[in-house]
Amino acid sequence: MALEAILGTDERVRITDTSSYPYRAIASLLITANDGAQFVGTGWFVSPRTLITAGHCVYVKNSGRPNREGWVKSIQVMPGRNGAALPFGSVTSSRFWTVKGWADTGDESFDYAAIIVPNELGGKVGWFGYGVFPDAVLKDAILNVAGYPVDKKGAEQGTLWHDSRKTAALGSTKVNYEIDTVGGQSGAPAYMIRDGARYVVAVHAYGGVVTNSGTRITAAVMENISAWRS
């Protein structure tokens, strides 16, 4: 299983104005697992207190390390992070949601989750729209993915990177695209702009040789996200 991949030439572009919308609604995540190991990920606000991310960012599955499996201990949420700068501060959460399809079996089709933060930080930064769209709309859509990759070091560590490309393929539970991503961008929003508004259509989670992919927002996924955000 590859989590993210550069496909051909790396076409990611750094976002330097992370205090502007929609980038401030995207958060860098510092994840502490059960065994104390730390990882990075990405999440995006859907309400004042709720972020959406990948399931494997909140619930470790099939790691091969029994002491690491299950719910992570905590996640530090840093919206709009720009390297060492945290323009909106940070908050730490230990309250998460995911679905049984991920927690019980690690099925990639269910790799999505929510982080509930203890304050209304999302009220400061705003949040994304999301929706269920038919293949006829998504097959020609230009998708955007912005997240916090782990391959950036030194002064660029903890910086936000973006790429966009047309949808490559659609499945019932996944959206595939040739957008460049690297580890750490798991959980990032894969969104399109429609009638001037941004709609997340998938939760970025995986990579491959030809395309990268995200968990598609279906009616069932949307129902869970809407329940978690309230």
Residue positions annotated with a catalytic role: 56, 186
Which pairing describes strands 13-15 and 197-206: parallel, antiparallel, or unpaired?
Answer: unpaired
Give, in order, the Cα–Cα distances in Å from 16 to each of 20, 24, 56, 123, 128: 10, 11, 28, 22, 19
Asked if 211 contacts 7 with a C-beta cutoff of 8 angstroms, the reply is yes
